[in-house]
Amino acid sequence: MIETYYKSQNNDFLLAHGDTFQLLNEFSFKFNMIFADPPYFLSNGGISLQSGKVVCVDKGEWDKGRNPEEMKEFNMEWLRLCRDKLRDNGTIWISGTYHNIFSVANCLTELGYKILNVITWQKTNPPVNISCRFFTYSTEFIIWARKCEKVAHKYNYELMKKLNDDKQMTDVWRLPAIGRWEKSCGKHPTQKPLSVLTRIILSCTDKGDWILDPFSGSSTTGIAASLCDRRFAGIEQSETFCQMSKARREELDNVGVKADLKRHIVDFKTLGSSEQLNLFGGDNDIVCENTSNIYEILPFDTNPMVEQTEGKEKFFLTCYVRRTDEECEAFMNHHATTYTTTLKSKTKLAKATHLFPMVKGSVDGNYEILDSTISEDKKVHFTLGKYTPLTDEWHNIYDKMKPWELLKEDECRELCSKG
């Protein structure tokens, strides 16, 4: 089992340190989406101009050029491992240039993926061409593919239209290269901009979905996932970049830093403040649906607080919500996602798969428990998923169950059937 190098307080950002070829074999978790920025194999002594200075563009030993056979062997292996980590309706995004992207495309086809699009990322601020002997390199390519030929994938079509002036989003994206504001914790030599990763994540995932990056680097994928209210697991072989990733994620705990990052990202600015509120927990079902099939076990966690419930018995927990009128009203409107309550029993919490929150009035239903964490003051923070309204046979459950009582599904039904 993988040992987690870093885990955020609310378990939405996980990082493992090591060789991705080894670690991908050590867990069986399935992800909604994968983004990969693999080696381009272009570090062969080339030069470029940065900040007015001529610099070598070599990225490191891991990016040294290889012959076509070696490149194919490398790409086939990591793409095969990643395919096993995707859900059947999941998709993968791979960035590259002409140095590696054709090899990646051929490997995807051989492995049974279905290529959906090849995005051309046109940089609005590319580095200049100092040799003046050919056209300036101003683009990179990003392949989007789904795992299975005949299993439908997710695409947030209406949201992409909204981000493109109410017109269909094309496969050419004019977005800037990495800015100085993205280097507050240091810079990775192949760091991707948050604007690109944000658009990718918004296009094909829902709130709470899990995203994997097998070549995590400084975890731009993870930072973008956090900004979009998704969950992230990354693998990185360099401890230096693991430390950088940790620092970048911890920056987001500062509300001001998080807000400033969003202000720099064009898609957040396009959505505007009202749409952003809907995007992160409101009632705009076009932008982001609550998925009912999110895994509750953590990818790299050896002792998950809540076990995966798919195919297992349901346990229903009740507890009072003693908070503000606004928060109680949010539950009664069936669109709240989190709240805290004083912990009464760790054992019951570990078993609970569904929650009946007792609030002012009634929510008239139960929520799937996606995650739960315990703070230092022994408060429990729930992340809640699919809402199921009460049916007639459950109509008196709130009168029958006591606070912090945990019952199996058949026990709840038996209790409700009594006079």
What is the phi/psi pair of residue 364, to 5°? 55, 40
176 & 262 share domain:
yes
Q: For residue 296, is it within any domain?
A: no
SS3 11: coil
343 & 214 share domain:
no
Q: For residue 293, is it within any domain?
A: no
Strand partners, 341: 380
Q: Region 391-411: what's the mean pLDDT? A: 76
SS3 110: helix
204 & 333 share domain:
no
Q: For residue 304, is it within any domain?
A: no
pLDDT digits (tens, 9 = 90+) for 95-136: 999 889 999 999 999 999 999 999 999 999 887 777 788 898
350 & 228 share domain:
no
Q: For residue 64, is it within any domain?
A: yes
Q: Model's pTM, two decimal places?
A: 0.66
Determine the Cα–Cα distance for residues 401 and 411; give it in Å rounded to an integer: 10
172 & 81 share domain:
yes
53 & 142 share domain:
yes
Q: What pLDDT score was predicted for residue 335? A: 47
Residues 6+ apart with CB under 8 A from 358: 318, 319, 320, 321, 398, 403
266 & 319 share domain:
no
Do 16 and 23 meet the contact criterion of CB atoms below 8 Å apart?
Answer: yes
Q: For residue 274, is it within any domain?
A: yes
Do 12 and 253 meet the contact criterion of CB atoms below 8 Å apart?
Answer: no
The residue among 279, 297, 326 that closes a domain is 279
pLDDT digits (tens, 9 = 90+) for 180-196: 899 989 887 789 999 99
Q: What pLDDT score was predicted for residue 402? A: 77
**C-alpha distances out from residue 145 to 22, 118, 129, 207, 410, Å:** 24, 9, 32, 21, 42
Q: What pLDDT score was predicted for residue 320? A: 67
Side chain identity at residue 82, one-letter code: C
**C-alpha distances out from residue 77 to 25, 108, 356, 384, 410, Å:** 11, 11, 46, 37, 46
320 & 172 share domain:
no
Q: For residue 310, is it within any domain?
A: no
Contacts 24+ apart (CB under 8 A), 81-84: 81/20, 81/21, 81/24, 81/25, 81/214, 82/24, 82/34, 82/36, 82/212, 82/214, 83/111, 83/112, 83/113, 83/147, 84/24
Q: How many domains does the chain have?
A: 2
Determine the Cα–Cα distance for residues 252 and 235; give it in Å rounded to an integer: 20
132 & 52 share domain:
yes
The residue among 219, 253, 279 that closes a domain is 279
What's the domain range around 361?
Answer: 315-417
408 & 355 share domain:
yes
38 & 179 share domain:
yes
pLDDT band at 332, cuts 50/70/90? low
Q: Is the pLDDT of residue 229 over 60?
A: yes
**C-alpha distances out from residue 326 to 321, 322, 323, 356, 359, Å:** 12, 11, 8, 18, 11
34-57 burial: b if 16+ Cβ within 10 Å, else e: bbbbbbbbbbeeeeeeeeeeeeee
What is the phi/psi pair of residue 159, to 5°? -65, -40
Q: Is the pLDDT of residue 288 over 50?
A: no
Q: What pLDDT score was predicted for residue 297? A: 67
Task: Tell me which range, 1-10, 140-149, 318-327, 390-399, is most confidently predicted by mean pLDDT.
Answer: 140-149
Determine the Cα–Cα distance for residues 162 and 411; give it in Å rounded to an integer: 47
Do 400 and 305 meet the contact criterion of CB atoms below 8 Å apart?
Answer: no
135 & 221 share domain:
yes
Name the residue with tokens 């995007």.
Answer: 279
pLDDT digits (tens, 9 = 90+) for 237-270: 999 999 999 999 999 999 899 999 999 999 999 9
pLDDT band at 362, cuts 50/70/90? low
| Ordered alpha helix ranges (H), 99-219 | 101-111, 157-163, 194-204
Residues 6+ apart with CB under 8 A from 240: none
